[in-house]
Chains A and B, each alone.
Chain A
Amino acid sequence: MMTKTTVVSLFALSLLVLGGVGYAAFTSSVTGTAYFTAGTLTLGVLGPAYGTSNTPAGGDAVAPTCTFTPSSDSGPPGSATFTLTASNLYPGDNGCDFAVVIYNSGSLPATSFTVSYLINPGGTDTCRNIATSGCYFLNDFLGSTPATAEAPASFLNNYLGPGASYLPGSDTPVGSGPMSVTVQPGGTILYTGYLNMWYCSAVNWISPYTCSNAQGSTASVLVTITGSVGADTGT
């Protein structure tokens, strides 16, 4: 025999079942699953636009010896590097004109650039021992191809002269920038310049003695062009 309590419970449960009270409602859900990807900024050296020039500069008869070596697989992400070497320059001589096409193969635009230099890294040449002055400087330009409102076709980037007098032989790069230049993914920018051997007659830069001491020296400049996008945290 069922007790009265059992009967009442069953009756109440039946009511709940019939009425649906406390049971499933109609529902519908939508779920968004977003796959976020940090972009990439990858710069590379496509190559010299017109190569380095061994032809005499300024109408003189002395031809420097110049080599250009891209090393796009080195350096930090988002950078392109190359080495320019020059010899057979003489005081006051300009030479080894170069024009390098930097290509952005990443997915993000590069919105600013810095350029850093190591002149004669390792310091094995004569200029390392010149305490008061450097033998060489780099005069360079960073532009865009084609010219844009943000960056003309060529503008002065850096004049690595007196301020870089201690550079030869240093293992600490010195650079310039950042410069606001935008290079979209798939875009290029032109980096041009030339090397110069400082005038011996420039008092306080290279004395006649050190000038002569620099005979036979070779200028080797490791250039690193670094693009960046997003917050500049220095990393």
Chain B
Amino acid sequence: MINRSVALSLLAMSLLISTGVGYAAFTSAVTGTVALGAGTLTLEFTSLSVSGGPSYTHITGITPSLPATGTVSFDVGPVAPGDTIVISYTVENTGTLPATSIVPTGFSMVSQSCDNVFFLSSAGLTPGTLAAGDSFSSTIGVTLNAATPSNDQGCTAIFSFTLTGSIGS
């Protein structure tokens, strides 16, 4: 059995230990802060131009202004029957990470207001990878059917193409 005096002594000592009273010591600490940041992969259109076709065909209305990422829309015209318009575009990886894969998708006509007058005639090669800070240029060609009748003047067509870069698994 613990007598009352012993019990009181133990209780007092416990309080001292728990509060630190009477146990001050010299201390020193160092703290290291490690900032971990994920890299970025950002593809941007940096240029769009007509590289092949008649002199009267131009690109206008590029929205948003280049350079731009995401979806960029633009107008091409006017186009006469039999004309093949080659659009050159440049894509740059403005991120900090390389694109270890570049996948072109959706190189196709979305819609047109007349029957069978416009068609996709070519799609240039695209690289399989793209290092950070690097760019590449390629082309897309669209032709207005040579047999397009005069009544189809003013017809429109929408073409779309997507390039997706990725890194990581």
Q: Which residues of A contact B (CB under 8 A)?
A: 20-42, 76-78, 106-109, 185, 229-231, 233, 235
Contacts and interface: CB of A to CB of B under 8 A. Distances in A.
B85 A36 contact: yes
B123 to A, nearest CB: 11
A92 B49 CA distance: 60
Interface residues on B, range: 35 or more
A173 B149 CA distance: 20
Nearest to B48: A32
A231 B81 contact: yes
A24 B91 CA distance: 23
B79 A26 contact: no
B77 A37 contact: yes
Given A30-B91, A32-B45, A34-B158, A39 B80 contact: yes
A42 B41 CA distance: 49
B153 A39 contact: yes
Contacts of B160: 31-34
Nearest to A235: B149
Contacts of A30: 43-45, 69-72, 91, 162-163
B81 A35 contact: no
A41 B79 CA distance: 11
B149 to A, nearest CB: 5
A107 B56 CA distance: 9
Nearest to B158: A35
Contact of B72 (A23, A26, A27, A32): A32
